[in-house]
Structure 1
Amino acid sequence: MRKTTSPEATKQLAGTLAPYLRAGDVIVLSGDLGAGKTQFVQGVAAALGVRGPVTSPTFNILLSYLEGSLPLHHFDLYRLDDADELEDIGFYDTLDADGASFVEWGERFPDALPYGYLEVRITVDAEGNRVVRAHAFGDRARCLLTVWAKDSKSRLVKCAGGFA
């Protein structure tokens, strides 16, 4: 099972996903507050070449980083109350746009998620380590997870119910 023992290790793991991302990819990040979802996005952003600070879009709902090798769109849906608000923030248009989209708290609106996406669930164990599990929904997400898991730097291990 893949555990990370520090914020830097979580970012390193996330960075190993970056080379395989392409426009239209959607990654849904789930986990409790403070689990490391934004740290995961920070790792991907750094690997894509984003030089500026990458922060949680909790109050902005959406932050986009366009200066990397692939545009990165980072949503935080925690503060939304209703799926109708997704249209107001340009959620659907952004998912279909030119970059990869990372969606924190996407599980709050399961009917709004696209057919294909990669779910990355981050939990915290009793010792404070992060446990990262990935599950693919749809063909493109399965391909993405397969190549990411085969990358020796990711050190993902197949387990019951997906990769960890």
Structure 2
Amino acid sequence: MRGLKRLYFLVPDVDTARKIIDELLLAHVPYEHIHLLARAGTPLEDLPQAGITQQTDVVPALERGLAVGGTLGALAGLAALAFPPAGVVAAGGAILFGALGGAGFGAWVSAMIGVRLPNSRLERFEGALEQGLLLMMIDVPRDRVEEFQDTIKSHHPEAEIEGTEPTIPAFP
């Protein structure tokens, strides 16, 4: 699968967002790759609203939990090899199972924490959202970023391009 980049656009109203979404769908951007965020109380009707993975820090927390938990689990497995408990013969599987168990536990704990925190990448848009603007987040193939930016800007000069995010992970 090709890597995706998330584009950020601020648009003035729901009608503009609807027109951009229609154009994106015609350009074969999957509906699931379009996310819209607005201040509370803004009726978005049938438009694709940002979900929990876009609104919270769950994905970055999950990534950190996998890395830290896997590392600590592998170290615990190495310790079990170096200092086996009395009467237990530890083999190389201890490292593997320690890493997998640590990664799983770390991911679970981190995700539980991250789901309660607002997405730190969206802090810069809080003022614009409070003023009534809508934030569009669009995940597009990394080799087509400029094409989509140019198309949206040429068809909708009222849309403000706010940049891109690093490569989007393949999950969730």
TM-score, normalised to structure 1, is 0.35
Comparing both structures, which one devotes a greater share of its residues to helix? 2
Comparing both structures, which one devotes a greater share of its residues to strand? 1
Specify the structure having the higher radius of gyration (Cα).
Answer: 2
